[in-house]
Amino acid sequence: MVDINLAVKDPASDGGPDETSIEQRETIGLSQGQIVRKRFFRHHGAVISIVVLAFVILLAYSSVGLHVWGLTTQGWWPWHWRETPPLVNRGIPTLNLIPGPGFGIGPHPFGQDVVGHDIFALVMRGAQQSLMIMVLVGSVGTMAGVVVGSLAGFYRGWTDSLLMRFTDVIITIPFIVIGAVIGRATGNLGAAILGLMLGLFAWMGLARLVRGEFLSLREREFVDAARVSGASDTRIIFKHILPNAVGVIIVSATLLMAGAILGETALSFLGFGVKSPDTSLGLIVAENQSAFATRPWLFWWPGLFIIVIALSVNFIGDGLRDAFDPRQKKMPSPRALARAAVRARERAAD
Amino acid sequence: MVPAPITRSSQIGWSPPLMASFVTRRLIAAVFVLLAATFLMYLLVAYSGDPLKELRESNAPNKLQLMESLTKRLNLDVPPFFRYFIWLGGIAQCFVGQCDFGVNVQGLPVAVLLQQAMGSTLQLVTSAQLIAIIVGLAVGITTALRQYSGYDYAITFASFLFFSLPIFWVAVLLKQYIAIGFNDWLADPNIGAAVLVVLSIVSGLVWMSVLGGTNRKRLTTLVVATVSTGALLTYFNLTAWFSTPSVGIVGLVLTALAAALGVTAISVGLKNKHALRGALVTAAVGIALYYPMTWYIFRYMTMPLFLLLAVLTVVVGGAIGHVLGGRDRWQSARTSAIVAVIVSAVIALDGHLLYWNDYVNSTRINGRPIATFGSATPNLGGNFWVQGLDTFTHLLLPTLAIILISFAGLTRYTRSSMLEVMNQDYIRTARAKGLTQRTVVVRHALRNALIPIATIIALDIGALIGGAVITEFVFGWSGMGQLFQKGLVAVDPNPVMAFFVVTGLLIVIFNLVADLLYASLDPRIRVS
C-alpha cells in the first residue's frame, strides 16, 4: 500500500477538508474501472435498484419458465399463464402478509381474472416479455447509435452530414408514433421481433451524443499520438476513442432502456405492441382496465411491476451517471466532509 | 498527419443579416427533413397492414363493389411509393389556400377532421404544459435552493417515480380515485376531523421544508401553516363552502394583497416603494371592480369580451405601474401587470364559481361534475361561465396525467441547471458585493439558469404530443391522438399522415425556435 499522505496535502492542516482533496484521496492508486465501481456502490438508490431488478428478473424467468424460440424450461409455479383453473374465492388475491389465519401466498397470490387465469403467472410472463423488449431495444438502439455517432464524429465531412441529416429525419417522428406504426406492422411476429424493430428506431439521441463525444475526443493529443505512431482508423476508434466515450454510452443506454419499457407498455396498451395470446405488462393493463371497479387487482399488479422495473432502471442510470461523470457529482454533505476530515486526521496521526 | 485546426467564426455576437441567413438555411433544411420524414412515415403506414382486410373477410353481398370503391377512393391500386406523391400533391395545395389531406376510409375529408381535432388537442397540451412549466420551475428552483434538505430528497424521489410511471396506468387511477371518488364525496361534501388534522399537518410540514431556515423559523412556519390550514378547512366545513364554493370579497381582498406583496417581493423586492405602491394600487383597482364586474358585466360575458378584458387587464396594470413607477418605470409596470393578471384571474374564478351550483345540478351533469370521458358535455347549453366550468372539469384529469409526467423532467432540469449556475464564480461575486438573496437568485442566477430550460421545453414538444396520444386514448378525447390511433388501426394513411404533418411541423418549428432562443438568450452562443 502506498502511503497516500505523501501524495496529497493534508486537508486537516489547512483549516478543514475541501472537496478535491477528499476526491483525490479516495481515488488515488485506483484504476478507472475501480473508481467508477466505487462511486457507483456509494449511490444507495442504485445499489438497491440493482438488487430489486435482479430479484424481478429471477422471479419472472424462474417462476413460469423460459419460452423463447422453441426453448422451453419448466418453472416452479404450478399454473401456466394460459391455464384457466377454477376460481378460488371469486378470484380475489390470496396473498396475505398479515400474520394470523390465512397467512401465506395461497394458490393465487395476485388473484384471478374473470375466466380464472392466474394473474401471478400472467404478470410474470408479461414481465418476461417487457424485460426482453426493454433489453433488445436498449442493446439494438445503443449499438446503432454508437455506430452512426462514431462514424459521423470520426470521419466528419460528408459522412457526418449524411448521417446527421438522416438522424434529423428519424428524430422528427416521436417514438410513440413510429413505435405504433412499427408495432402495427410487426406486432404479430412476436415480442422479440417487435423489440428488434423498435430498437432500430431508438438510436437517434444516442447517436447525437456519441458524435459530440467523438468530435471532441478526436482532437485530443492521445489520438494524435496514436495516429503518428501508425495506428489505423479502426484501432483509434476501438482502442482510443470508444473507451473514453463509454461513460456517456452506458448512461444513455440505461436511460434508453427505462424509456423503452414505458414505451413498450404504452404501445401494448394502445394495441400496437405485443398481441394476445402472448402478453406483456401493458397488454394486461389494457385488457383489464374496464374491470377496475370490480377487480382492481387485475390492474394493480402489472402496473406495479412496470413501475418497479422502470424505477430501478432509472435509479441505476442515475448511479452510473454519478459514477462516470464526477463533474456532476453532488458535493459531499457536511456530515460526509466532517467524517472524511476525521479519517484524514486519524491517518495523519498513524 | 496534422490535426485540422479548430475553426472559429470570426463574427462576434450575431448580426441581423447573419441571423436571417441562418434562419433561411435552417428553414430550407427543415423542409427537406419534413419531406423525407413524411415519405418514410407514409411507406411505413402503407405497409403496416392491409386496408382491405376487413372487407375481404366480410360476408357483405356487394363485397367486391365495396372493395373496388375503397380502392378507388384511397388510390390503393397505386403502389405506396407513388401514392405518396399523390398525397403530397394534395398537401402542396395548402400554398394556394386549399389544403387537401385526402379522405379517410369512411370517405370523410381529413382536413375537416383535423380542424376539429387540432383545437381540442392544442387546448389539452397547452394548458397542461403551461401548468407543468409553472409548477416545475417553482419546485425545481426551490429544491436547488434547499439542496440536500428533506424536501429536496422527497422531490427527487418523487420525480424519479413520476418519470417511471406509465401514463396510461396513472390515467386509469385518476379516473377511479379523483373523478369517481371526488364525485361521490361531493354528494356530502364535508372533510372528516381525522382527514382535516392530517391535511393541516402535511401542509405545515410542506411549508416548513420549502421555506427552511433556522430551527426556530422552521418551528414557527410549521405552527403557522398547520393552524391556518386547519382554520381555513374548518371554515370551509362550517360554511358548507364545498357545496356552494365562491371566493367572495374577503377572499379577493386577501389574495389581492398577498399577490401585490408576493409579486413585488419576488420581482423587485419590497424595498422598492414605487413598485410596491403600484402593485397595491393595482390590487385596489381590482378589488374596486369586483362588484361592478359581478353585477353588471358577468352575465353578458362572451369569449371575445373575455379576451378583450384580459388584454385590458394587462394594459391597465402595466399603465398603473408605469405611472407610479418612479425611476425604474418598466420594472414596476411589469410587477403591476402580473398583479393585475392574478387579481383578475381570481375575479374570473369567482365568476365561474357563481355558476358552480347551476352546473353541478344541471340535468346533463347530475351532481357528478368531474368528467372521465370526452372533451365536453354534449348539449349542455348554459352561458360562458357554465361552458367554462364544463371545459375545466373535462380538462382536469387528462391535464393532471400529462402534468405528472412533464413535471418530473422539468423539475430535474431546472434543479440541475440552477445548481450549475449557483456554483459559478459570478454568483459568489454577487454575494460578496452584499446583494440580497433575492437579487442573487432572481436577477443573477435564475436568468441564466432559464436559458437551457427554455430550449429543453421547446425540444420536448415531440414527447408531449406522444404522451397526448395515450392520454387522449384513455380519456376518449377526440383529438389528434385519436385521429392517429384510429387511422393506424384501420391502416388508413391519410388521417395518420395529417396527424404527423402537424406534429412534425411543430417539432421542426420548435427545434428552430430552440436554436434561436439559445442564440439570442446566450451571448456566448453564435449562429454560423
| pLDDT 10s digits, B457-492 | 888 887 788 778 888 888 888 888 888 988 888 888
A-chain residues near B507 (CB < 8 A): 172, 174
Chain A interface test: which of B44, B53, B164 (most A C-beta within 10 Å):
B164
Tell me, what's the pLDDT at A326?
59
Alpha-carbon distances of A278 from A201, A204, B442, rounded to whole Å: 23, 30, 55
Residue B202 has pLDDT above 50, yes or no: yes
Q: Poorest-confidence range of B229-243, B361-375, B394-408?
A: B361-375
Residue closest to B447 by CA, chosen among B424, B481, B477, B474: B424
Confidence of residue A331 (pLDDT cuts 50, 70, 90): low
Judge: B165–A307 Cβ closer than 8 Å, yes or no: yes
Confidence of residue A335 (pLDDT cuts 50, 70, 90): low
Task: Note whether A340 contacts B: Cβ–Cβ < 8 A.
Answer: no
Tell me phi and psi for residue B274, to 5 degrees.
-60, -50
Tell me, what's the pLDDT at B70?
81
Residue B284 has pLDDT above 90, yes or no: yes
When the pLDDT of each residue in chain A is averaged and rounded to a whole number, the result is 82
CB B339 within 8 A of CB B319: no
Alpha-carbon distances of B36 from A177, B33, B248, B432, rounded to whole Å: 16, 5, 57, 55
Residue B199 has pLDDT above 80, yes or no: yes
CA distance A162 to B36: 13
Residue closest to A108 by CA, chosen among A98, A97, A94: A94
Tell me, what's the pLDDT at B377?
81
CA distance B443 to B60: 72
Q: Kindly report, residue by residue over A10-35, the tens digit of the pLDDT.
A: 444 444 445 555 566 666 777 878 88
Burial class (CB in 10 A: 0-12, 13-18, 19+), A84: middle
> Span A208-230, mean pLDDT?
92
Tell me, what's the pLDDT at A312?
94
Residue A69 has pLDDT above 80, yes or no: no
Show Cβ contacts of residue B331 under 8 Å, excluding neighbours closer than 6 positions: B267, B268, B272, B275, B325
Tell me, what's the pLDDT at B405?
82
Tell me, what's the pLDDT at A20?
56
In the block, residue with C-alpha cell 419531406: B35
Please, what's the b/e burial string for A127-140 (b: 16 or more CB within 10 A of its CB; e: otherwise)? bbbbbbbbbbbbbb
Tell me, what's the pLDDT at A327?
55
- Judged by DSSP in three states, A68 sits in strand
**Which helix or strand (DSSP H or E) is residue B356 part of?**
helix B356-360
Show Cβ contacts of residue A300 under 8 Å, excluding neighbours closer than 6 positions: none
Judge: B466–A176 Cβ closer than 8 Å, yes or no: yes
One-letter amino acid of A18: D
Residue B11 has pLDDT above 70, yes or no: no
Q: Poorest-confidence range of A78-82, A150-154, B120-124?
A: A78-82
β partners of residue A29: none
Please, what's the b/e burial string for B386-423 (b: 16 or more CB within 10 A of its CB; e: otherwise)? bbbbbbbbbbbbbbbbbbbbbbbbbbbbbbbbbbbbbe
Percent of chain B whose predicted confidence (pLDDT) is above 90: 27
Residue B319 has pLDDT above 90, yes or no: yes
Percent of chain A whose predicted confidence (pLDDT) is above 70: 86
CA distance A345 to A348: 5
**Which helix or strand (DSSP H or E) is residue B378 part of?**
none
Tell me, what's the pLDDT at A188?
78
Locate all alpha helices (DSSP H) within B75-214, ordered by sequence.
Answer: 80-92, 110-145, 150-163, 167-174, 182-187, 193-211
What number of other Cβ atoms are within 10 A of residue B136's Cβ? Answer: 25
- Judged by DSSP in three states, A132 sits in helix
Q: Poorest-confidence range of B14-28, B236-250, B257-271, B377-391?
A: B14-28
What cell does B106 get? Answer: 369512411
What cell does A318 get? Answer: 442515475
Judge: A180–B484 Cβ closer than 8 Å, yes or no: yes
Confidence of residue B29 (pLDDT cuts 50, 70, 90): confident
Confidence of residue B3 (pLDDT cuts 50, 70, 90): very low
Residue B36 has pLDDT above 80, yes or no: yes
Percent of chain B whose predicted confidence (pLDDT) is above 70: 96
Pairing outcome for strands A67-68 and A71-72: antiparallel
Tell me, what's the pLDDT at A18?
52
Considering B34-43, B67-76, B460-469, the range whose residues carry the highest mean pLDDT is: B34-43
Q: Please give the span between the terminal C-alpha atoms of chain A, in angstroms, as a whole number.
A: 14
CB B286 within 8 A of CB B258: no
Which DSSP symbol is given to B109? B
Who among A266, A311, A330 is closest to B167 (CB)?
A266
**Which helix or strand (DSSP H or E) is residue A67 part of?**
strand A67-68
Confidence of residue A334 (pLDDT cuts 50, 70, 90): low
Locate all alpha helices (DSSP H) within chain A, ordered by sequence.
Answer: 4-7, 19-27, 32-42, 44-63, 119-155, 157-171, 175-186, 191-199, 204-217, 221-228, 233-235, 242-270, 281-288, 297-324, 334-349
Judge: A178–B473 Cβ closer than 8 Å, yes or no: no
- Cα angle vertex B248, ends B251, B132, to 5°? 60
The residue of chain A with its CA nearest to that of B417 is A328
Residue A3 has pLDDT above 50, yes or no: no
- Judged by DSSP in three states, B210 sits in helix
β partners of residue A118: A112
CB B411 within 8 A of CB B152: no
CA distance B106 to B103: 8
CA distance B29 to B19: 15
Tell me phi and psi for residue B2, to 5 degrees.
-90, 130
Task: Note whether A307 contacts B: Cβ–Cβ < 8 A.
Answer: yes
Burial class (CB in 10 A: 0-12, 13-18, 19+), B104: buried
Q: Kindly report, residue by residue over B246-275, the tens digit of the pLDDT.
A: 888 889 999 999 999 999 998 888 888 889
Confidence of residue A229 (pLDDT cuts 50, 70, 90): very high
> Span B20-46, mean pLDDT?
89
What number of other Cβ atoms are within 10 A of residue A312's Cβ? Answer: 23
> Span A138-156, mean pLDDT?
94
Tell me, what's the pLDDT at B12?
44
Residues 140-199 of A with CB under 8 A from B: 165, 168-170, 172-178, 180-182, 184-185
Tell me, what's the pLDDT at B241?
85
Residue closest to A264 by CA, chosen among A296, A309, A297, A301: A309
B-chain residues near A286 (CB < 8 A): 168
One-letter amino acid of B364: R
Tell me, what's the pLDDT at B427?
92
CB B75 within 8 A of CB B44: no
B178 — alpha (psi -120 to 50), left (phi > 0) or beta? alpha
> Span B68-87, mean pLDDT?
84
Tell me phi and psi for residue A118, to 5 degrees.
-75, 120
Tell me, what's the pLDDT at A19?
53
Residue closest to B520 by CA, chosen among B458, B463, B442, B461: B458
- Judged by DSSP in three states, B103 sits in strand
Residue closest to A218 by CA, chosen among B3, B7, B1: B3
Tell me, what's the pLDDT at B8?
40
> Span A197-201, mean pLDDT?
91
Tell me, what's the pLDDT at B14?
55
Tell me phi and psi for residue A112, to 5 degrees.
-135, 160
In the block, residue with C-alpha cell 443573477: B444
Judge: B500–A177 Cβ closer than 8 Å, yes or no: yes
Tell me, what's the pLDDT at A9?
41
What's the full length of chain A, in residues?
Answer: 350
Tell me, what's the pLDDT at B252?
93
Which DSSP symbol is given to B176? I
CA distance A338 to B231: 44
Considering A290-304, B436-450, B460-474, the range whose residues carry the highest mean pLDDT is: B436-450
Residue closest to B496 by CA, chosen among B475, B481, B477: B481
Confidence of residue B526 (pLDDT cuts 50, 70, 90): low
β partners of residue A71: A68
Residue B383 has pLDDT above 80, yes or no: yes
CA distance B141 to A35: 32
Judge: B470–A176 Cβ closer than 8 Å, yes or no: yes
Tell me, what's the pLDDT at A23?
60
> Span B21-39, mean pLDDT?
89
Q: Poorest-confidence range of A240-254, B196-210, B352-366?
A: B352-366
Judge: A269–B148 Cβ closer than 8 Å, yes or no: no
The residue of chain A with its CA nearest to that of B474 is A270
> Span B413-441, mean pLDDT?
91
Residue closest to B42 by CA, chosen among A86, A267, A26, A169: A169
Task: Note whether A318 contacts B: Cβ–Cβ < 8 A.
Answer: yes
| DSSP characters over B231-275 | HHHHHHHHTTTTTS---HHHHHHHHHHHHHHHHHHHHT-TT-HHH
Show Cβ contacts of residue B198 under 8 Å, excluding neighbours closer than 6 positions: none
A-chain residues near B42 (CB < 8 A): none
Q: Please give the span between the terminal C-alpha atoms of chain B, in angstroms, as a whole number.
A: 28
The angle that helices B150-163 and B193-211 make with each other, rounded to 10 degrees, is 110
What cell does B240 get? Answer: 358548507
Who among B29, B41, B469 is closest to A173 (CB)?
B41
